[in-house]
Amino acid sequence: MAEVNVYNMTGAVVGQRRVAEAVFGVPLNTAVVHQAYVRQLANARQGTHSTKTRGEVAGSTRKLFRQKGTGRARQGSIRAPHRRGGGIVFGPKPRDYRQDMPKKMRRLALRAMLSDKLRAGELFVLESLSLPEPKTKQMLGVLSALGLTASTLLVTAGVDRTVILSARNIPWVRTLPANQLNIRDLVNYRNVVMTAAALEAVERLWGGGAEEQEPQEAAAAEERSEG
């Protein structure tokens, strides 16, 4: 069973913690990760784009000039696509971009990315993250103590308003509760910082036997993280 260092808010190692092999001991499957990433991006699309065809744009139906005798190319409608203000040829119309993916594959992609973060030394576990008041300077101090200065995903056990307010003005930090962990953020952010409580929540949600038991909490977490 793999172990990970546990840090305090000053960056000192205060112990080690064993992590679940079912979540953090999975080989990287790039094909599944890619499919899950593309699926999440596709499911986030609204699909409300719409253009007008020549039958939908405003304009007269009168023939512009007589067919023959003018020396000009024949023209039948001011709404033709090749004319200014005319209709659009093969333009986008409202559609549903959603993609389906089996639950086992979705959870495999999440576990594979978490395991890869651990193997690459990009997973940091904090003993606790308790700030007395929302202060960006204090959050920067905690992150710099861990040696992090760019691209960091900060995961807490639940919605922590103080942490959110302290990190929202740092452009390279994104905060997320454990039950909204998703493949897009794991791919987009290089470093992952979790509190010990968040790590326990992640192991509980996506730990061993999740495929067979399909707990309602894990299914709800996946639905929340899709967008």
Instruction: List, in order of start, the domains of the chain with CATH numbers.
Output: 3-45+101-225 (3.40.1370.10), 46-96 (no CATH)
Q: Among 218, 199, 106, which Cα is nearest to 154's?
A: 199
pLDDT at residue 211 tops 70: no
Supply 26's token pair: 């999975």
Q: What is the pLDDT of residue 223?
A: 59
The DSSP symbol for 28 reads P
Task: Give me the pLDDT at residue 164, please.
Answer: 95
What is the per-residue pLDDT for 2? 83
Distance CA(99)–CA(83), nearest Å, equals: 37
- CB neighbourhood size of 14 (10 A): 11
Per-residue pLDDT at 48: 96
Q: Is 143 exposed, middle or buried (0-12, 13-18, 19+ CB in 10 A)?
A: buried
Per residue, the 3-state secondary structure of 105-165, as one string, reads HHHHHHHHHHHHHHHCCCEEEECCCCCCCCCHHHHHHHHHHCCCCCCEEEEECCCCHHHHH
Q: Which token pair is 125?
A: 């576990």
pLDDT exceeds 80 at position 91: yes
* 132-143 residue pLDDT tens: 999 999 999 999
pLDDT tens profile 43-69? 999 999 999 999 999 999 999 999 999
Span 166-185, pLDDT tens digits: 999 999 999 999 999 999 99
Helices (H), the chain: 21-24, 30-43, 103-119, 136-145, 161-167, 183-188, 196-206, 210-213, 216-225
pLDDT at residue 219 tops 70? no
